[in-house]
Homo-oligomer: A and B are copies of this chain.
Amino acid sequence: MSFSVIGELLNTTRDPIRNAVARRQTGVIQKLVIRQQESGADYIDVNTGAGVQAEQAELHWLIDTVQAVATVPLCIDSPDPAVIASAWERLDRPPMINSITLEKTRFQPLLEQLQGRPCQVIALCLDDSGMPADVTETCRRAERLVTALTGRGIPLDAVWIDPLVSPVSTDTRNGPGALAAVAAVKQQCPGVKTVCGLSNISFGLPARRIINRTFLPLMISRGLNGALLDPLDRELTAALATTRMLLGDDAYCLGYMDHCAAEKVPG
């Protein structure tokens, strides 16, 4: 297994972040960048989509502010290809792009700007008809995305397929469905990466963190290669360190032991 943590905290749908971005509070933002990195984030997601009118200006400020302290790449998170297009020249290292879909307004515009630009790309199995109806449809969409992106020169292992996780609260088949989708995409498109927004699974239920940290090992064991998640959730990162060890990706258990020592885990 290999697994990448995309730190999700810098999103203006979260009240403290919306306020910090609106007020240009550099310190608040940079502290969260550093804490996410220290807690194992491999990418820092930046999303200013809550500020409809201001999205682009806010994103530019946020990118500059984050990059001043970031030691890892950014994950540029917007549904608007024009907003993403406006960000490229500010970036000081190849980003992760979050995200392309098969929707008409996003597919071609994003494909065109990705050509020739080194980056990682999150590709959602979403088209204009909505969510995929089943695993077969998820795989069909994944293949279309993979074909299009690799056709534009994106390496296969830089394509991160998000099969789209729906809350188990709306349909209890969504848990098994998400697990099956990840496994199927990994099988159908060997070499591609898979990713999801981890906490989507727990929407609408109490004690969401318990669900998230139980879902993560299950998804990783099916082949999940990364997730947008909260790296400051210490029980979640403990589950991640433990999963790596249990799946045989932690020589001499050193990563797990380090995690225990660093977190003063009580057990």
Contact = CB atoms under 8 A, between A and B. Distances in A.
Interface string A43-57: 000000000000000
Contacts of A175: 245-248
B214 A239 contact: yes
Interface in A153-200: 168-169, 172-173, 175-176, 179
Contacts of A260: 206-207
A209 interface: yes
A84 interface: no
A210 B265 contact: yes
Contacts of A207: 238, 260, 265-267
27 contacts: A168-B245, A168-B246, A169-B253, A172-B245, A172-B248, A172-B250, A175-B245, A175-B247, A175-B248, A176-B246, A176-B247, A205-B253, A205-B257, A206-B260, A206-B265, A207-B260, A207-B266, A210-B242, A210-B267, A211-B242, A211-B245, A211-B246, A214-B217, A214-B239, A214-B246, A215-B242, A217-B218
What 8 A-B pairs have minimum CB-CB distances, sorted nearest first? A207-B267, A175-B246, A214-B242, A176-B248, A207-B265, A206-B260, A209-B267, A207-B260
